[in-house]
Structure 1
């Protein structure tokens, strides 16, 4: 139809050809320049601007923390003396733990056995006290040793000290105290004080020292079923008393075995008539050793055949 106008918006052959030419790769000779298309877009890949600066700052901060941690780790290893065998004075061996030198424990220490080196002693030291406890299977304390600044305390049912060969030297329990040594020596300047009775086979002083048995306020008694023997090999024996001294033998006799028997403080009578009112007597001895008193006179009043001596026979 000739009267109808045709409206076709599709590109013509010439425009299609130009578009195809732009999309093709062309080769040019040296010195030839080609114009870039006007509608070319450039896309940038990466982080730019303030994001890039923050990223670099964060990486720098991590690097500083890493260096500080590494330095602190080296410092701790050096200060604590870490080694493949232990830490500081502490060594791990097949027999347990071994401490060299002085060590300080801030909390309780639980160990099965504690011993020192062969060439040194074991020292337990504290500013307050050292306490060693022994417990049973139920956790109850059965024995305690407490070493304080002023006193050493032992809480136990029995305390015993043994010698090297295992012989008990000193034993204490609730009923008695036993000293098992061959000789008990008291070196105090004032001797030993006993509040009750003492049983011992021998009491002896050191050489060239005096032996004194003293009771300041009460009496002193020495009892033995088979006799009491007091002997002074190179000196004398003195018996001093404010009151009477009595020598009594119930079954035997009193023997004064000496070259001279002296009674220096006996009152001597005066010459005159014999009278018992003077209260002066003479000690007479019978042939069998018996002593009796006889009224003193100018001469001796002792008679060998006295009735007192005859009665004794």
Structure 2
């Protein structure tokens, strides 16, 4: 507030005469002043609330110099401790777990991992859903921690790199085409069965086929023929006794004195390889039979 005083002189006496004081008030008064103070007070309150919320968020989110709570920013990337939930897709060059714990990826629907090229096209994908697991790519390679190939598959072949392939199903394994393997072995105290319900079953090897049962029998059954064939060697039946219980009995062409000498038979072999029984006599009776 500034006060200004004006002094004038009269024409008669020449003495200055005091003039009434005029006061000019400069500033904000009245309701404007109260509104200004109220607005300033409101800004201070908002500032204090924002500062309190900022401090509370920093305390809850665990902001620090290294990162945010369990999320730490390191020179190698981002390190996340504990469990985390991602609501949208995550893009990363590499995801590793701690040395003393496993990496668990969980989803209520499915988990999909995609690999893209420079153009953004998907070149490989692995999807694990509630009822199936599906992989898409040029080839699939499963390796052990020693970089040894355990399983490999592409459009031409599938390779099992382990020393032993174990099938534990009750129905065994079903192969629609040929199978190449050095050994087929059953589990201890269980039978090994090779079966072809509608077609033929063939076992071939350049150095022979070895069939062995350590504590049981070896049975070969077929609706038509069972053929044992060796191109350059022999077919050896090495056992304490070899039995052919249902061998056919031949019929002699003529009845001679040699027939019916004893109730005994001899095994005859035709040039075609057919076996049959013939009544034993003093001499061989195979030539007298009409089976060949």
TM-score by length of 1: 0.71
Kindly state the Cα deviation for residue 176 of structure 1 after the two structures are TM-superposed: 0.7
Kindly state the Cα deviation for residue 182 of structure 1 after the two structures are TM-superposed: 1.9
Check if 1:224 corresponds to 2:205: yes
Check if 1:105 corresponds to 2:49: no
Matched with 1:28 is: none
Matched with 1:129 is: 110
Q: Secondary structure at the match of 2:22?
A: coil
Kindly state the Cα deviation for residue 174 of structure 1 after the two structures are TM-superposed: 0.2
Matched with 1:82 is: 63
Matched with 2:215 is: 234
8 Å Cα contact 1:295-1:301 kept in structure 2: no
In 2, the alpha carbon distance for the partners of 1:208 and 1:93 equals 57
8 Å Cα contact 2:267-2:278 kept in structure 1: no
* Larger proportion of helix: 1
Kindly state the Cα deviation for residue 212 of structure 1 after the two structures are TM-superposed: 0.8
* Larger proportion of strand: 2
The 3 A distance-change label for structure 1 pair 183 and 82 is same
- Residue in structure 2 matching 1:92, options 73, 84, 87: 73
In 1, the alpha carbon distance for the partners of 2:83 and 2:277 equals 88
Q: Once structures 1 and 2 are overlaid, which stretch shifts more, 221-230 or 58-67?
A: 221-230
Matched with 2:5 is: none
In 1, the alpha carbon distance for the partners of 2:233 and 2:29 equals 133
Matched with 1:140 is: 121
Q: Secondary structure at the match of 2:55?
A: helix
TM-score by length of 2: 0.75
CA deviations over 1:95-130 (Å, ceiling 9, x no partner):
221111112222222222221222222222222222
In 2, the alpha carbon distance for the partners of 1:306 and 1:76 equals 106
Kindly state the Cα deviation for residue 307 of structure 1 after the two structures are TM-superposed: 6.1
The number of residues matched between the two structures is 267
In 2, the alpha carbon distance for the partners of 1:119 and 1:173 equals 34
Kindly state the Cα deviation for residue 45 of structure 1 after the two structures are TM-superposed: 4.6
Q: Secondary structure at the match of 2:44?
A: helix
Q: Once structures 1 and 2 are overlaid, which stretch shifts more, 245-254 or 117-126?
A: 245-254
Structure having greater relative contact order (Cα 8 Å, sep ≥ 6): 2
In 2, the alpha carbon distance for the partners of 1:237 and 1:40 equals 137
Ranges in structure 2 where 5+ consecutive residues have no aligned partner = 1-9, 257-263
Kindly state the Cα deviation for residue 293 of structure 1 after the two structures are TM-superposed: 5.6
Matched with 1:311 is: none
Matched with 2:6 is: none
- Residue in structure 2 matching 1:283, options 229, 251, 266: 266
Specify the structure having the higher radius of gyration (Cα): 1
Kindly state the Cα deviation for residue 240 of structure 1 after the two structures are TM-superposed: 4.2
The 3 A distance-change label for structure 1 pair 301 and 164 is same
CA deviations over 1:178-217 (Å, ceiling 9, x no partner):
1122222212122111111112221111222111111223
Kindly state the Cα deviation for residue 155 of structure 1 after the two structures are TM-superposed: 0.8
Kindly state the Cα deviation for residue 44 of structure 1 after the two structures are TM-superposed: 3.9
- Residue in structure 1 matching 2:283, options 278, 297, 303: 303
The equivalences for 1:1-313 within 5 A come to 11-12=11-12, 15-16=13-14, 19-20=15-16, 39-241=20-222, 257-264=238-245, 274=255, 282-284=265-267, 296=279, 300-301=280-281, 303-304=283-284
CA deviations over 1:262-299 (Å, ceiling 9, x no partner):
55557899xxx959xxxxx943459xxx9876764xxx
8 Å Cα contact 1:294-1:302 kept in structure 2: no
The 3 A distance-change label for structure 1 pair 303 and 100 is same
Q: Secondary structure at the match of 1:60?
A: helix
In 2, the alpha carbon distance for the partners of 1:248 and 1:307 equals 26
